[in-house]
A and B are shown apart, each in its own frame.
Chain A
Amino acid sequence: MSRMFKMVSLLLALCMLCGIPFVSAGAEEVIDADLTCTITLGNWPPDTAPQAEKDLFENYKAIMAKQYPNVTLVPDYYSYTLSNYVPMAKGGTAPSIFQPPFTDPQLLISQHLVGDVTDALEQFGVLDQFSPSYVEMLADENGRIYGLPRDGYVLGMHINIELFREAGLVDSDGLPIYPKTLQELAEYGQIIREKTGKAGLVFPASEAYGGWLFTNIAWNFGCVGENALEYQDEDGRWVCNFTSPECIAAMEYMRDLRWKYDILNADATTTDWAGAHSLLGTGEAAMNFAADDSVDQPTANKGLPVEDFALIPFPAGDAGRYALAGGTCYMFSPDITADQATALMAYLKILGKLPFLDDSIIAGMRADYAAKRDRGAPVIPAISAWNDAEYNAAKQAIVDEFSNVDMRLYADFFDSISEGTITLKSEEPVFAQQLYRELTAVVQRVITKEGADVEKALRKAEESFQEYLDDEINDY
């Protein structure tokens, strides 16, 4: 435990013992005493959360009470799923703020199930600082904003270095010789399988996960632009395109991973996101398509030491090098008033989710990174969703202070983003979850039936998803 962390912890403990919330001098000032409303906080930690996390939120609440004395905050822990949110939104019981993944905002916006915060963002002067790709994800066709990015991620690949070492895939410095292309992925995976008997690649192909990961592979085979998996034609109708030569080639590649190279985990069709992290963390698989925001899963949660873990860029295909950019966002109940929207932005500012810096926000970041380090999770820079240089530099300085990893194991991943050698791409634009489900079924077919007709399976999925698009958008 570093000296600085000890001091911060001691200070927090003293404040709690004295019964006073930990607030910085700047946080004591009243900002708006006239703003009067109540907001329910679905992003509040559950009762089972670590005490430090609960204390952190109590501290945020105390700051809010100082700055906006007539705004009442009601903690209301809520674990979002699409299925449980819809009845709550329709019944008027949804919390004022909640946290859906980036796959859902467009669906929620199109169904009028979320509240508009554009004017409140304007009021705080941050509307222009959004990364444009996030604006695209969180706005409707008129440019009205319905959500804020909580954290962003870029899909890459998690590596279990121990298995690479066993397979002889390390250089003279002990760093993993990792695959830079999808072809190398297949070949290295095969070496790992032969040398260690473990899966070269864990591929979670259950529910929507298989399709979700497949889209990223398909982009690297050229399923972008005019060959995109879904696009709007000149009449504005959404068209599904799973039978392009590029998409077929990508699916053939999936089949080869199973039947030619035999690098996939045994139960791919029942493996989900958590299961994939578990297999990598426990040394049952060497590689996993995963993002920078889940590096704590195989390490802190599954016991893989941070020195045996690396994060690398998504391997390139013949047609390019694309990586999915996504994350979790904050969205708001459909019935929020203008005052509530303002109060919610003020609350998010205190949480450090708007690009503002003050002592309390920096203290919050320090506590967050210190907690990560103590849990045995890699402390690495976060990908910012804000185009604000000062804000981003301050975060990097704190990361450096708490870093517990050899950054050479992450450098290529972050450099590929900052240097633009990888193209970031958001998820397919409409009904992504349904698209993933259709593609998951095809992935499952080709990795469980050696003789499966790839084109026929893709055509069936295409017809099914086209019917869905016609039903839900084109002929609505």
Chain B
Amino acid sequence: MSRQEKQIRTHAKLAGDIQSWMIMLPGLLLMTFFVWEPLFESIRMSLYKTRNVELVRFIGLDNFISVTGKDDFLQALQNTFSYTFWSLLIGFALPVLLAMLIGETTRGKGFFRTAVYLPNMLPGLAVIILWSAFFSGERSGVMNILLGKLGVLPQSYLTRAELVIPIIIVIATWKGAGATALIYMAGMSSISPELYEAAAIDGASVWRRILHILLPAIRKLAGTLLILQIISVFQIMYEPMVLTKGGPDNASLSLMQLMWQYAFGGAMNYGKASAVAVIVTLILLVMTAVYSYFNRKESDWD
């Protein structure tokens, strides 16, 4: 290749690159302004003593030491893992089940698709208020009215430490499971019908078809949705904030809610709030890295 040809190719490549960069530029600028800059600013703020949003002086890791040394942080950390556990227990398999059931439905499939997605279209706060009336401990609470018909005395639900997190997860699952089910349905629709036909000819039961065809086909999708669910649940905030205000006695306080309390709950300590935010980010980074590691390893085996 002559020198001239090389120059022409380089210029063409550069011109192509510039075009690509120009296309990406608005997105990059927006990302920089709305995502990266606040992210780095938050990390910087966590290392400073603050007065409202002003940085007063550099204090190293003092905010982290102060925040992690408090009972409410340990409680919030434990609660957040508890949210994740209950979310996986209650909310991970349900969308798969819904997707399978709707997939098997021959009539009214469109109706069921819409029906399961409907709760997702309701505003989050409206959902919480709706369920708070359901789980109200007063005689007028819907659950107590229903139990009253069976002769059970009125019960308290949202003031019982052992119940609040599962209840909040039930509500979040009720709202979000339909949307996840639709993603699974999309994944399931890509499975070749011939596989099912072949299995049916070989006399495979429904359970075996699910076990050997359906589940392997959606495994990677489920893995991705799993990590997304963990990330999402780890950031749970408005549900406990509205339903229980973090109570009783911090039993439903999440890490994100603790961060909000430091910043806006009267303390106005943005440094400590940023420290909590950074800790949450680090935990999620570690969890995502672990998932990616195993995912890659699994791909290598494949």
Contact = CB atoms under 8 A, between A and B. Distances in A.
Interface string A246-283: 00000000000000000001111110100000010000
B138 A284 contact: yes
A87 B53 contact: yes
B52 A269 contact: no
Given A82-B264, A266-B137, A284-B140, A448 B160 contact: yes
Interface in A52-108: 81-83, 86-87, 90, 107
B71 interface: yes
Interface residues of B, number: 36
A113 B52 contact: yes
Contacts of B6: none
Interface in B241-287: 243-245, 247-250, 261, 263-269
Contact of B53 (A90, A197, A284, A447): A90
Interface in A406-462: 431, 433-434, 436-437, 440-441, 444-445, 447-449, 460
Contact of A265 (B138, B244, B264): B138
Given A265-B138, A267-B158, A448-B159, A433 B245 contact: no
Interface stretch (A117-125, A172-180, A463-471): A463-471
Interface string B80-95: 0000000000000000
Given A86-B53, A87-B53, A270-B243, A448 B268 contact: no
A83 B263 contact: yes
Contacts, number: 102
Given A434-B266, A444-B249, A267 B66 contact: no
A208 interface: yes
Nearest to B56: A476
Contact of A206 (B139, B245, B261, B267): B245
Given A107-B268, A437-B265, A448 B244 contact: no
Contacts of B250: 441, 444
A296 interface: no
B118 to A, nearest CB: 26
A467 B66 contact: yes
A71 B53 CA distance: 32
Interface in B122-171: 132, 136-141, 154, 156, 158-161
Interface range for A: 35 or more
B52 A468 contact: no
Interface in B60-113: 66, 70-72
A37 B263 CA distance: 34
A207 interface: yes
A2 interface: no
A471 B263 contact: no
Nearest to A87: B53
A82 B53 CA distance: 13
**What 8 pairs between A and B have smallest CB-CB spacing?**
A433-B266, A83-B264, A266-B137, A269-B248, A206-B245, A445-B249, A269-B247, A444-B249
Given A83-B264, A270-B158, A433-B267, 8 more contacts: A82-B266, A90-B53, A107-B266, A107-B268, A111-B268, A267-B137, A269-B159, A436-B266
Interface of B: 51-54, 66, 70-72, 132, 136-141, 154, 156, 158-161, 243-245, 247-250, 261, 263-269
12 contacts: A86-B52, A206-B245, A265-B138, A269-B158, A269-B249, A270-B159, A284-B138, A431-B266, A433-B267, A441-B250, A445-B248, A447-B248
Interface of A: 81-83, 86-87, 90, 107, 111, 113, 197, 205-208, 265-270, 272, 279, 284, 431, 433-434, 436-437, 440-441, 444-445, 447-449, 460, 464, 467-468, 471-472
